[in-house]
Amino acid sequence: MIKLNIKGRISTMFHTMYQMGTFVLLLILYMTGKGISRLANWRFFPKIIKNRLSGPLALFYSKAVKILDFKRTGTISRIDLIELSIRNMKAKKTRTIVTIGGMMIGIGTIVFLVSIGYGLQQLVITRVARLEEMRQADITPQAGGKVRIDDKTLNDFKDITAVEMSLPLIAVVGRVNYQNSVSDMAVYGVTTDYLKQSAIKPIQGKIFDSNELTAELPDTSGKVAGVYTESKSGEPGEKIQDVEYTIDQTSWIRVREDASTSAKVLGYTKRVEGSSNGEEVWGGKYTSDNGAGTAGESETGSTIGKWIKAPVLLWKEQTCDTETEGDCEDGKYMVLRDEDSKQAQKEGYFAEIGLTISGASIKYTQVLGETTDVSSGSAQPVTNTATSLDWVEIASEAGVIQTSDIKTVELSDSAKKQAVVNRAMLKILGINENEAVGKKFTASFVVVGELLADPKEKIESAPTEYTIVGVTPEEKTPVFYVPFMDLRSLGISNYSQVKVVVKDQTDLSKTRKQIEAMGYITRSVADTVAQINSLFATARTLLALLGMVALAVAALGMFNTLTVSLLERTREVGLMKAMGMKSSEVQELFLTESMIMGFFGGVLGIFVGFLFGKLAGLFLSFFSIVRGVGFVDISYLPFPFVLVVVFLSLLVGIATGIYPARRATKISALNALRYE
């Protein structure tokens, strides 16, 4: 019996909520329709829009009203109830206006304060971070750890599915000589893509054009220690070297029984997560865009190509349906299974097409160039492989490096010798900003610490003349940027930092966790933005609570108005009941009036609060423009918040009207008619 009562109460509660929800939607629809109708009757209203309002939109309005104003047996329709409430409110215009005005002030106060909170949050975030930076993270090795950032690390980062770009940075100390004045300052070796992703835009000149991460070895005639060049000849089937390879994301690779285009096809394979290991071998020639198909020559003089020999998972080429067949991929490849119903894995050969090879062509050891003592004055050019760049702290050579320990290395012949400098550097050098582009200065780069394969080794480049091609507006710390390959050619094997750019902002958190699991430290502007959001969320809550005080006062005023109105309309209530109106309909009538006043107070409050927020921003902009900051907008209202405010105003209307409405149902028709 108790269970039946509980079920009955729950059913009644849901029915009441449904009735209330549909009534609120009907009320909003009715008010919006009446407002648009009055606006459309304005003689200056565009006829094209007026025709549309009287066409498809009018049809939609009538259908929506018909659905929401469902017929209730033996009771007044909802539309009639709303119109009757409006007529009653018009009869007491002054009281209605004062009541709605109180609600407007309460809601307007909340909207004004919260819009300031949202506006300041948006203003701070736009100054702290760009939209592109929300997809970026800076990766650095842990202090004192054994993990370093090198070429293999960059390839590992690129192999992460969500990563779009992996841009390294080299940070060293630069000794700048200009007009016999020597200054030490930070130097960052970066690529053009790194500068673009970091939003480094020159106010004078332009950024240099250099995205190279690897360099061609010059003809050093064996003088470069630790470097060897791969042989260009061999015999089919002969191993060249062990390699890591990564198949392109959308490629399907044909796997053969032997390293020849005429060999039997074992099946097809595709990319797996991360990179895979295999052997690079000589085989039959084939056509390729990268030249791998005709990269060598056999002893008999015939052309041979490079192939990869590795164990791979296999698929077979077959038209299939991905929705109905679980083994189907891309609609034309089916999983190839062995006798144990497991996916077949065989060792096969495939051409170097549609994949990326790591560690091929040129290998390096610790030394990338021949070095000489500073006192000797001689040096040899060096080369190296490179990648991109990022922000990092630079180890100072002061008090650490003794002159006798420093080795001098010449920059590579392919070095661009161009620099993008900032205002702070120009002030130190005494160069006029408007005349800086094209000016030349001499710089040498000091490389110490963990950037080198041997941490005990110290390298300084021979003084080299650099040309200024661009000037950035930064004025705090003197720094300048040079092409990544200029520093990489000094023999640097490890990088200071890497900027990782993911394809979608939502992938950043997951990608950072993957990289941190590899032993690295990650930093992102997203962390700062999260802290700002948390701070302003608390601030908005406090501001909303202050606004609620004004709303509470307005709600008490509405409650008082409705209670007094009930006392004044006692005879009217008795007459309506005597004419056949039910007590429930009288209750709905008073609730409707309170909801209408709450709705109008909420809408007007949103408008007034938002308007005052914009005026406050305009007032502050007068001072910010004078100081060169530009226009400041400190007011912003997200659409979800507007909806919350509208429903809050309706809720206040319902809450304040419940007591007078229930009291009206208890009035006796006979006693009411005798009431004086």
Average pLDDT over residues 52-80: 72
Q: In sequence order, what DSSP letters do the residues of 581-609 get, joined into one string?
A: --HHHHHHHHHHHHHHHHHHHHHHHHHHH
Higher-pLDDT residue of 560, 443: 443
**259 and 284 Cβ atoms separated by less than 8 Å:** yes
CA distances from 449 to 173, 290, 452 (A): 12, 37, 7
Among 153-157, 194-198, 233-237, whose mean pLDDT is lowest? Answer: 233-237
C-alpha 228/C-alpha 222 separation (Å) is 8
> Residue 376's closest CA among 397, 398, 404?
404
Q: Could you count the other beta carbons within 10 Å of the beta carbon of residue 487?
A: 29
Q: Which amino acid is at 532?
A: I
Look up residue 332 and give its two tokens: 């034309």
**358 and 244 Cβ atoms separated by less than 8 Å:** yes
pLDDT, position 468: 94
pLDDT, position 96: 85
pLDDT, position 187: 94
pLDDT, position 664: 75
Q: Could you count the other beta carbons within 10 Å of the beta carbon of residue 51?
A: 11
Mean pLDDT score across all residues of the chain: 79
Higher-pLDDT residue of 669, 420: 420
CA distances from 110 to 104, 146, 334, 604, 664 (A): 10, 55, 61, 12, 32
pLDDT, position 633: 81
pLDDT, position 309: 93
Is residue 256 predicted with pLDDT exceeding 90?
yes
Residues with Cβ within 8 Å of 386's Cβ and at least 6 positions away in sequence, in order, are 168, 212, 213, 214, 215, 484, 485, 488, 489
Is residue 441 predicted with pLDDT exceeding 90?
yes
Give the whole-number percent of the chain exceeding pLDDT 70. 83
Quick one: pLDDT band at residue 362, thresholds 50, 70, 90?
very low
pLDDT, position 348: 93
Average pLDDT over residues 642-671: 80
Residue 599, exposed/middle/buried by CB under 10 A (0-12, 13-18, 19+)? Answer: buried
> Residue 524's closest CA among 498, 494, 559?
498
pLDDT, position 226: 34
C-alpha 234/C-alpha 257 separation (Å) is 20
C-alpha 300/C-alpha 282 separation (Å) is 14
pTM, two decimals, is 0.52
Residue 63, exposed/middle/buried by CB under 10 A (0-12, 13-18, 19+)? Answer: exposed
Of 227-241, 250-264, 350-364, the range with the highest mean pLDDT is 250-264
Among 451-455, 546-550, 651-655, whose mean pLDDT is lowest? Answer: 451-455
pLDDT, position 469: 94
pLDDT, position 358: 66
Buried b (16+ CB within 10 A) or exposed e, 23-34: bbebbbbbbebe
pLDDT in tens, 291-333: 788 888 887 778 888 999 999 989 888 888 887 887 888 888 8
Helix (H, G, I), strand (E, B) or coil at 355: strand
**668 and 621 Cβ atoms separated by less than 8 Å:** no
pLDDT, position 383: 34
Quick one: pLDDT band at residue 49, thresholds 50, 70, 90?
low
pLDDT in tens, 267-293: 999 887 666 788 989 999 888 877 788
Average pLDDT over residues 344-366: 70
Place of tokens 């059913």: 11
Place of tokens 């203003």: 123
Quick one: pLDDT band at residue 570, thresholds 50, 70, 90?
confident
CA distances from 16 to 173, 412, 528, 653 (A): 74, 81, 46, 17
Separate counts of helices (H) and strands (E) for the chain: 15, 26
Is residue 259 predicted with pLDDT exceeding 80?
yes
Look up residue 649 and give its two tokens: 């105003």
Cα 597 off chain centre by: 42
pLDDT, position 628: 67
Place of tokens 């001689």: 378
**H or E segment and range at residue 644:** helix 639-665
Cα 224 off chain centre by: 45
C-alpha 19/C-alpha 630 separation (Å) is 51
C-alpha 39/C-alpha 46 separation (Å) is 10
Q: Tell me the pairing of strands 265-270 and 163-178.
A: unpaired
Is residue 467 predicted with pLDDT exceeding 90?
yes
Quick one: pLDDT band at residue 408, thresholds 50, 70, 90?
confident
**CA terminus-to-terminus distance, the chain:** 48
Is residue 400 predicted with pLDDT exceeding 70?
no
**458 and 491 Cβ atoms separated by less than 8 Å:** no
pLDDT, position 47: 67
Is residue 588 predicted with pLDDT exceeding 50?
yes
Look up residue 232 and give its two tokens: 């260009």
Q: Which amino acid is at 450?
A: E
> Residue 358's closest CA among 291, 289, 274?
274
